[in-house]
Amino acid sequence: MSKIPQPTTTQLDKPEPKFHYWRTLLWSQWCFTPPLPTQSWIGKTVIVTGANIGLGKEAARHFASLGAEKVIIAARNLSAAEKAKKDIEQSIGCKTSVIECWSLDLCSYDSVRQFAERCQALERIDCLLENAGVSKYFFYEVEGATDELQITVNVINTFLLALLLFPKLRETAERFKTTPHLTVVTSELHHQTIIPERKAVKEGKHTNLLDALNDKKVASRGGRYPVSKLMQLLCVRELVATLKAKGDTSGVVVNCVNPGFCHSSLTRDFAPIAYIGKILMRARSTEVGSRTLVHAASAGMESQGEYLSNCQVARVADWVKTEEGREWQGRVWEEVLGRLEGISPGVSGNIHVS
């Protein structure tokens, strides 16, 4: 396996060299294989969303094989989740008590709240790995939700679940003297957008970004997924900045991770273009891609608020580090937090230091 030189903080802060993103992307896909995870998870409890298939399922398999006491497959399709559970059990020989299948529909606010409430009965949560996501070409509305499908699933309900379970992660850190993780699975595609819908806000067509994202006339099609992934990254960064500003010393690691271009069902709406791209880019298997997820869920405090790729802290898109990018980071988080307060009043208090 070829090894990537670890970049320094100074290198990461410098503007991205011309064509650096594309060179790194091609090198990662063609020349680098993430190492198998080896860190022990004995006695720990892990939640993996969207773990009935693909990357989430393979990550769950790794956690179970590394000794986790409880691995919760959180999925909308419980039938598929049960099949995944049996497959994992047969492949690694773990006890039937290790893997549990819990219902979680990230299209539904109620489902997220009910799932989080159920989690309160758990003795501990050592990792919330938020892997579930959707990628669609067309604009889809969600019954009972304020925002379009990809924003609802990839951003709003992802962070609703994160904030609802943050006190439990803190409790685990304090009670068991360990380092729980909140890890959001994002994408290198965040490099390919600067949120075009923000133009509608600048021009006064909408008062805020979420409204612009819900306007079919303004919303980009194929670009919606990268936008949602950039929003995830901005929210992770601002959440950590908020925690630091409030003097949080809970020891909970919050980071986000790019698994690379993988063979998964996520791109099914973009076939056959996605299929051709997977061949040309030498897409990783879901098992290989899942190694990066487990790495991020095991990373130390050096990964706090960081974007990880190829099992190391990686460079975020240059726009994120500009003055405008920093401004929008705060605005995006403020809007998302406002939406979350509307869904679950008082939830923002879960990140306050008591």
Between 224-245 and 323-343, two packed helices, what is the crossing angle to 10 degrees? Answer: 90
Q: Is residue 330 part of a domain?
A: yes
Q: Count CB-CB contacts under 10 A for residue 120.
A: 12
Structural contact between residues 296 and 127, judged by C-beta atoms closer than 8 angstroms: no
Task: Calculate ∠ Cα 303-234-211, nearest 5°.
Answer: 160
Tokens standing for 172? 């685990």
Integer Rg of the chain from CA:
19
Residues marked active site are found at 225, 229
Decide: helix, strand or coil at residue 202: helix
Q: Is residue 7 part of a domain?
A: no
Contacts of 7 (CB under 8 A, 6+ apart): 312, 313, 314, 315
Whole-number pLDDT of residue 248: 87
What pLDDT sits at residue 14? 59
Q: Considering the domain boundaries, does residue 257 fall inside one?
A: yes
Q: Is residue 76 part of a domain?
A: yes
Is the Cβ–Cβ distance between 70 and 60 less than 8 Å?
no
Of the candidates 168, 167, 166, 136, the one whose C-alpha atom is nearest the C-alpha of residue 152 is 136
Domain range for 250 is 38-341
Specify the pLDDT at position 4.
41
- Cα 127 to Cα 176: distance, rounded to the nearest angstrom: 13
pLDDT digits (tens, 9 = 90+) for 292-351: 999 999 999 999 999 999 999 999 999 999 999 999 999 999 999 999 999 999 999 999
Query: For residues 95 and 70, is the Cβ–Cβ distance under 8 A?
Result: no
Is residue 51 assigned to a domain? yes
Is 258 part of a structural domain of the chain? yes
- Give the chain's domain count: 1
| pLDDT < 50 positions in the chain | 1-6, 10
Structural domain contains residue 90: yes
Tell me the C-alpha distance between 37 and 62, whole Å: 7
Q: How far, in Å, CA of 279 to CA of 267, rounded?
A: 13
Is residue 97 included in any domain, yes or no?
A: yes
pLDDT of residue 28: 73
Closest C-alpha to 134, from 233, 236, 224: 224
Closest by CA to 161, choosing from 227, 228, 115, is 115
Q: What is the CATH number of the domain that holds 305?
A: 3.40.50.720
Two tokens at 44?
Answer: 């720990």
